[in-house]
Structure 1
Amino acid sequence: MDFQNVVDSISTAACVVSVETFEDGSCGKFRIVTGNRAYLDTIERPMENVVMLTKKFVPNSEYTEYLNRDLNFEDSCYRAAVEKKLLHSYAHPARFDVWFNMSFLPLAGDEGNLHFCMYIMEINFKPDAKRLSTISADIASAVLETCIRLRSDDDFSTIMNDICEDIRELCDSEHCCLLLMDKAKRSCSVLCEAFSKDSKLLPMEKYLDENFYSIAESWKDTIAGSNCLIVKRESDMEVVRERNPVWHDSITKAGGKTIVLFPLEFKNELLGYIWALNFSAEAADTIKETLELTTFILASEIYSYKMMDKLHVLSSKDMLTGVMNRNEMNNYVDALIKGKKGESVGVVFADLNGLKVINDTKGHTAGDELLKKASAALQEVFSPHDIFRAGGDEFVVVLTDVTEEELYRKTEELRETAKKYSDLVFAVGYAYEPALAEVRTALRVADENMYLDKKHYYEMHPEKKRSSVAK
């Protein structure tokens, strides 16, 4: 067969790939036999910001002469050339900021242990909705179900847990997990995960120590520029071992034998990864095609969720001290009143003594620093989510399911903790109520007790009053 005439008859970029096989069923070399002018230009005249390993095309060279090894590309070529299957994929490889519309066509003319297919690609600089939606009915149904779940009235965590279980079932895998990454904090967190009934794998929380972010960060190089990593045989796992020995050791010791790993990216931001362990290799084609589209949708939803979460943080936090603001306190108190009956509530009012003197004598910058010290001292004793800056130099702590004795110990601990910070003295008042519905009563009584404590302090330290400075 004249392969050059074949590719020259194609208007978009096209090449012929040869796949070498051995008697034991394993593969040898994957070579680019020839290509049309449009394909050769992708190597010799690559797009801006695309770096090829070499810019000189040599017929019958291994494809790894031009690009890093890609297990997905090899698998598609094998299935087209050896198994004589017609394949199509629409994907966004990490190595390029474009979308590839790819087809793999089986070709006749096998020569001994050499088998051939034609690889045709079209480049889109933005995702094409029509291309994304050109999928089988079964896959469309699975993706549509995901979209419907995301639009339901359930909370986001519940929705994602359900979707994670759906993906696990789709992959027929032992474990499925969606992991989020925080680049600023260099930390990872589990958004959701699902296990098969007979799984002996441990929850991901068991592995999320301070070093795990570095492992997750290394997955980008392990995927090596493709849009995902699918490891379904021992030879694939050997590639993982070569690229990422630390992760290979970790995953195999944990019981992982096969892996599907997809990055979750939106607007060029890596949000995290979704993976399935010990999946059904027979379902690999369906898994890849479904997750290519599902992860695109999930990444968009997670990005929106994180943006909303950031907006909530901005609207609920006091920017100077980092604790919750008065608006958030009011919302929280309203929620407590509507909440469970019978649970106790404790309130602590902590007001800064001498802040006005600091502002008058040392300036507002010094006053702001004292407020930050106050916040730090409070967070040594109480959870940040329980602390609110009610306004000015006044902080409020609201605790639920607490005893009166515990509340008293906490207030005394706060007084002692404040001594570690220069110029920091709290006027403290607390109140306890046996029922959540009486939280407003606790707030009022704690406020009154705080003012009694403040009055006593200024009686003992009249020089700290603002009026004495004015004189």
Structure 2
Amino acid sequence: MDFKAIIDSLVSTSCIMSVEKLPDDEIGEIRIVAANKRYKQDFSSYYDGILYTELFPKDRKFEHFVFTAAIKHKQIHTYIEAKVINMWMDQVYIPLESDRDDTGYCIFSYELTEKADPDRLGNVTMDTASSVIKSCAVFRTADSFKSAVDEVVKEIFEKCGAERVSVVSIDEATNGVRYIGGIARSRDEETRGRDIEDIPPDVVKTWDKTIEKSNCLIIADESDMKSLEDRNPAWAKSMIEAGVQSICFVPLQQNRKTIGYLYVVNFDTDRTIEIKELLEHTSFFLAAELANNNLMEKMKELSNSDMLTGVMNRNAMNIRVDEFVSRLELRCRPYGVVFVDLNGLKYVNDKYGHEAGDQMLWSAASIISSVFGDDEIYRAGGDEFTIITTGKSEDEFLDKISKLRDKTTYPSEITMSIGYFYSSGGDDIRIAMRNADILMYKDKEEFYAVHPELKSRKI
């Protein structure tokens, strides 16, 4: 076959690749046997028959594309971000006839764009387009972000013939991952989520680095796994231990920052190209939805958290009280209310400054959390804290009150006046809070009667 005549007739940057077929469909040497003038201009060190790895880094995904076109005779079109050259690449792979059983040939042609071209990104198969549009519609109509993610992964799960599909986000506080949603054939969601969140942060931090020169990680056979072992042995080990034989792993990015990952495990490797296309295009809008959800959660956290002490604020407390008032099932189960007021905060502010007062408030919140850490703790305002505990017996509730008193009774560095009320069920929480408040002020009167020098205000 006159490769030179074929390739010189093409206008776009093009070359002809040869790929060696090894036993068990393993990929052997991949060489560039001929190239047109435009291709040669891009690579000054080019010569006919050159190994492709002499021109650019080894890329298992690229090798799969060449092998699929040259050996399996499937034409491929894909538009990817070529991070090595910081460009987007519109690629076409066209199979060619071969007179050898152990070697296949294909044309590899590409065009470069500096930025992502929406028209090219949208040039996908009807099957992929249908799934992506359906997933977008799910996010517009679902009751919650979680339920939408579950619907989307179910669609991917069915399309890919996978063992499991997962969506995770990066936890900025721990550098680990947070399980968002997924589906698996053999494990329940709670177990699946726990296993994912147990992945060490040190392993998670290597993921981005491992795939930084590509737009996804594809492992379709043992050779791919061995390649990963060379680059990231810890990650490969964790995959093998988890029973991963194949995986398509796509970063979810917002403003070029990875905020999560979408991946399928043990999928139909005969459909690797189609699955890659589906996941990459799903990742575009899924990343946007994840970023929006993260922002909403952050705003909710900020609106409901006390920035000084880290406990919930009065706004969150008011919302919770409204829930108790409006929902019968909440007030019909056992609950306890505790009102706490710091003794001597104004004295500390006046004598040592507001920085010392802030430290006193933070320390007080830490003490309360050490006792009521599994309950709802609110800074109601100033030097006042409110605790709502549910599902505890009266003895358990009173035991916590006793522990708090032991930690905050004079001459402790931080002292508190405490009032409380326990309801076995049915009491209006507003009345419970009023009774706890009365007892707290009574406790405060008794404290200042003994320690008038610390009195912060008229009772």
TM-score (norm 2): 0.90
- What's 1:134 paired with? 123
Counterpart position of 2:245: 257
The structural deviation recorded for 1:224 is: 5.7
Deviations 1:204-242 (A, max 9, x none): 413533x61222222234436222222222222222232
Displacement of 1:387 after TM fit? 1.2
Q: From the superposition, tell whether residues 456 and 221 of structure 1 become closer, same or farther in structure 2 (CA, over 3 Å).
A: same
Is 1:20 aligned to 2:20, yes or no? Answer: yes
Of 299-308 and 169-178, the range deviating more from structure 2: 169-178
Q: Structure 2 vs 1, CA of residues 148 and 332 (structure 1 numbering), >3 Å: closer, same or farther?
A: same
CA distance in 1, matches of 2:438, 2:42: 76
Contact 1:336 1:436 in 2 (8 A): no
**Residues 1:410 and 2:383 aligned together:** no
Residue 28 of structure 1: SS of its match in structure 2? strand
CA separation in 1, counterparts of 2:190 and 2:223? 23
Asked if the contact 1:347/1:399 (under 8 Å) is kept, the reply is: yes
Report sequence identity in percent: 35
Q: After the TM superposition, which of the residue ranges 28-37 and 63-72 deviates more from structure 2?
A: 28-37
Letter in 2 for 1:142: S
CA contact (8 A) 2:175 2:204 kept: no
Given candidates 280, 304, 308, the residue that maps to 1:320 is 308
Between the aligned partners of 1:419 and 1:11, the Cα distance in structure 2 is: 86
Q: What CA distance in whole angstroms lies between the structure 2 residues aligned with 1:465 and 1:435?
A: 37
Q: CA deviation at 1:422?
A: 6.5
The Cα shift of 1:149 comes to 1.2
Q: Residue 440 of structure 2 is aligned with which of 427, 433, 450?
A: 450
Match of 1:77 among 60, 66, 88: 66
For the residue of structure 1 that corresponds to 2:227, the secondary structure is helix
Structure 1 residues 162 and 436 mapped into 2: Cα distance closer, same or farther (>3 Å)? farther
SS at match of 1:154: coil
Other structure's SS at 1:313 match: helix
After superposing the two structures, state which structure 1 stretch, 199-208 or 102-111, moved more.
Answer: 199-208
Structure 1 residue 12: Cα displacement: 4.1
Q: Which runs of 5+ in 1 are unaligned?
A: 45-55
User: Is this contact kept in 2: 1:337–1:436, CA < 8 A?
Assistant: no
1:365 equivalent among 338, 352, 355: 355
- Please give the secondary structure, in 1, of the residue aligned with 2:215: coil
Q: Normalising by the residue count of structure 1, what TM-score does the alignment of the two structures yield? A: 0.88
Maintained 8 Å contact 2:168/2:260: yes
Q: Which of 263, 267, 270 is the matching residue for 1:275?
A: 263
Q: Which residue of 2 aligns with 1:427?
A: 417
User: For residues 420 and 398 of structure 1, what CA distance do their matches in structure 2 show?
Assistant: 25
Secondary structure of the corresponding residue to residue 168 of structure 1: helix
Instruction: Identify which range, 408-417 or 424-433, moves more after superposition.
Output: 408-417
Give the residue type in structure 2 aligned to 1:172. G
Tell me the equivalent position of 2:379: 389
Q: CA RMSD in A?
A: 2.8
2:230 to 215, 221, 242: 242
* Aligned equivalent of 1:439, options 410, 429, 439: 429
Give the corresponding residue for 1:32.
Answer: 32
**Structure 1 residue 413, shift from structure 2 partner:** 1.6
CA distance in 2, matches of 1:436, 1:267: 51
Q: In the alignment, is residue 227 of structure 1 matched against residue 218 of structure 2?
A: no
Instruction: Classify 1:461/1:223 alpha carbon distance in 2 versus 1 (closer, same or farther; 3 Å).
Output: same
CA–CA separation in structure 1 for the residues paired with 2:406 and 2:50 = 74
Q: Secondary structure of the residue that 1:336 maps to in structure 2?
A: helix
Q: Which aligned pairs between 1:263-342 and structure 2 lie closer than 5 A? A: 263-341=251-329, 342=332
- Give the match's secondary structure for 1:150: helix
Q: 1:436 to 1:380 in 2, by over 3 A?
A: farther
Q: 1:99, 1:314 → 2: CA distance?
A: 38
Distance in 1, matches of 2:231 and 2:160, equals: 24
Q: Distance in 2 between matches of 1:331 and 1:298?
A: 30
Q: What is residue 52 of structure 1 aligned with on the other side?
A: none
Q: Which of 80, 88, 94 is 2:77 aligned to?
A: 88
- Would the aligned equivalents of 2:375 and 2:390 in 1 still touch at CA under 8 Å? no
Residue 167 of structure 2 corresponds to 178
Question: 1-side partners of 2:135 and 2:97: how far apart?
Answer: 40
Contact map agreement 2:3 2:34 (CA 8 A) in 1:
yes
Q: Displacement, 1:94?
A: 4.9
Q: Does 2:369 correspond to 1:379? A: yes
Report SS of the residue matched to 1:324: coil
Work out whether 1:194 is the aligned partner of 2:183.
yes
**How far apart are the structure 1 equivalents of 2:267 and 2:169?**
21
Give distance in 2, aligned partners of 1:405 and 1:66. 74
> 1:132/1:421 Cα in 2 relative to 1: closer, same or farther (>3 Å)?
farther
Distance 1:261 1:359, change over 3 A: same
Partners of 1:418 and 1:426 within 8 A in 2: yes
Change (3 A) 1:406 1:385: closer
Structure 2 gap segments, 5+ residues each: none
Is the CA contact (8 Å cut-off) linking 1:69 and 1:224 kept in structure 2?
Answer: no
Secondary structure of the residue that 1:29 maps to in structure 2?
A: strand
> Structure 1 CA distance, aligned partners of 2:110 and 2:153?
32
In 2, Cα distance between equivalents of 1:437 and 1:90: 63
Aligned match for 2:343, one of 346, 353, 362: 353
Aligned-partner Cα distance in 2 for 1:467–1:224 = 61
- Between 1:119-128 and 1:453-462, the stretch displaced more is 119-128
Question: Which residue pairs with 1:49 in the alignment?
Answer: none
More divergent stretch after superposition (174-183 vs 320-329): 174-183
Q: Deviations over 1:298-317 (max 9, x none)?
A: 11110111011111112221
Q: What SS class does the counterpart of residue 423 from structure 1 fall into?
A: coil
Q: Which moved more, 1:322-331 or 1:394-403?
A: 394-403
Deviation at 1:372, TM superposition (A): 0.8
Distance 1:130 1:425, change over 3 A: same
Structure 2 equivalent of residue 50 of structure 1:
none
